[in-house]
């Protein structure tokens, strides 16, 4: 009798244990089912894009391609060997002017050969434009050759002739504008002392740049300075406070440096004289 009661009670508990949920779980699931379920909207269908032809696709790619960044203009040194005859200079400069090049310096002179002249041109332009201009210059009949010294080790020189006031820049500005001389109140001795001080300062400055005083007068001095273009620019800035009356520059002349063949031959001889000990016989 007792075993029948226990079996009946266990039969009533088995469904709830096997199924794994209780009556409270059923109530919670019923409450969730009562809530309205969200509805998702269907995405619109993609439009049918028209197929492009090959010409239209290429033009679209070219149009959307960003432009290449423009390279800045740089300094180029060209050396032209031309026939010594009239009209050559105008034809060469005409080609450069047609391309819109800014000619920074141009020097033409005869060489040791009677019918040959050397023309040194300094341009401020882009690399691609200079290459095309060189090809056009070489096509000219009077032009023998066009050499590019831009990336070559070279010797460059320029000559400067400048006339500088020894009375000071204030004196020259007063004369130009018709104003009274600011040094009129000074005594002759003080004026002479100031002039000699300016002259000594210019002389020391000229010696530092390996220049030379060619002419000296009571109110100005003429100075000659050879050197690179950068040194000429620096000298002009230093004498500017004294008062520059006139200045003339010859333009840059260039010639490539000689190659050190002797040093290379000596290094080759030293390497050939060294004996490899591993190649010697034993003992």
Supply the pLDDT for residue 2. Answer: 47
d(CA 240, CA 225): 15
**Mind listing the pLDDT tens digit of every residue in the chain (283 residues)?**
545 544 555 555 544 444 444 555 555 555 555 556 666 667 777 777 778 788 888 888 888 887 766 667 788 999 999 999 898 999 999 988 888 888 889 999 998 998 899 999 999 888 788 888 898 898 888 999 999 998 888 899 999 999 999 887 766 666 665 666 656 565 666 777 888 888 999 999 999 999 999 999 888 999 999 999 999 999 999 999 898 999 999 999 998 888 766 555 555 455 555 545 555 455 4
Question: What residues does 165 pair with on adjacent strands?
Answer: 220
Supply the pLDDT for residue 177. Answer: 58
Supply the pLDDT for residue 129. Answer: 84
Supply the pLDDT for residue 16. Answer: 45
Question: What residues does 146 pair with on adjacent strands?
Answer: 80
How would you classify the pairing of strands 220-227 and 212-216? Answer: antiparallel
User: Which domains are present in the chain?
Assistant: 74-152 (3.30.70.260), 156-255 (3.30.70.1150)
Contact in structure between 160 and 248 (CB atoms under 8 Å): yes
Q: What's this model's pTM, rounded to 2 decimal places?
A: 0.60
Supply the pLDDT for residue 131. Answer: 87
Contact in structure between 198 and 256 (CB atoms under 8 Å): no
Q: Is 235 exposed, middle or buried (0-12, 13-18, 19+ CB in 10 A)?
A: buried
Supply the pLDDT for residue 9. Answer: 52
């Amino acid at each position: 009798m007792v075993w029948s009661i226990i079996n009946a009670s266990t039969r009533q508990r088995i469904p709830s244990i096997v199924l794994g949920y209780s009556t409270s779980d059923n109530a919670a699931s019923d409450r969730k089912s009562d809530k309205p379920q969200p509805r998702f909207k269907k995405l619109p269908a993609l439009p049918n894009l028209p197929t492009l032809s090959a010409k239209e696709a290429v033009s679209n790619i070219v149009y959307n391609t960003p432009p290449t960044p423009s390279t800045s203009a740089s300094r180029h040194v060209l050396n032209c060997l031309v026939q010594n005859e009239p009209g050559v200079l105008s034809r060469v400069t005409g080609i450069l002017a047609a391309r819109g090049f800014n000619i920074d310096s141009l020097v033409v002179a005869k060489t040791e050969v009677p019918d040959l002249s050397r023309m040194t041109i300094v341009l401020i332009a882009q690399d691609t434009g200079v290459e095309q201009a060189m090809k056009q210059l070489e096509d000219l009949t009077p032009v023998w050759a066009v050499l590019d010294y831009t990336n070559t080790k070279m010797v460059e020189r320029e000559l400067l002739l400048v006339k500088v006031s020894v009375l000071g820049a204030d004196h020259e500005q007063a004369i130009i504008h018709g104003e009274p001389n600011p040094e009129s109140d000074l005594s002759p001795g003080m004026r002479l002392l100031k002039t000699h001080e300016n002259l000594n300062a210019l002389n020391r400055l000229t010696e530092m740049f390996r220049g030379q005083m060619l002419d000296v007068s009571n109110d100005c001095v003429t100075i000659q300075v050879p050197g690179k273009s950068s040194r000429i620019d620096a000298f002009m800035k230093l004498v500017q406070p004294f008062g520059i009356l006139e200045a003339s520059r010859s333009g840059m002349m260039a010639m490539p440096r000689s190659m050190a063949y002797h040093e290379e031959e000596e290094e080759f001889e030293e390497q050939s004289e060294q004996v490899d000990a591993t190649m010697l016989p034993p003992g």
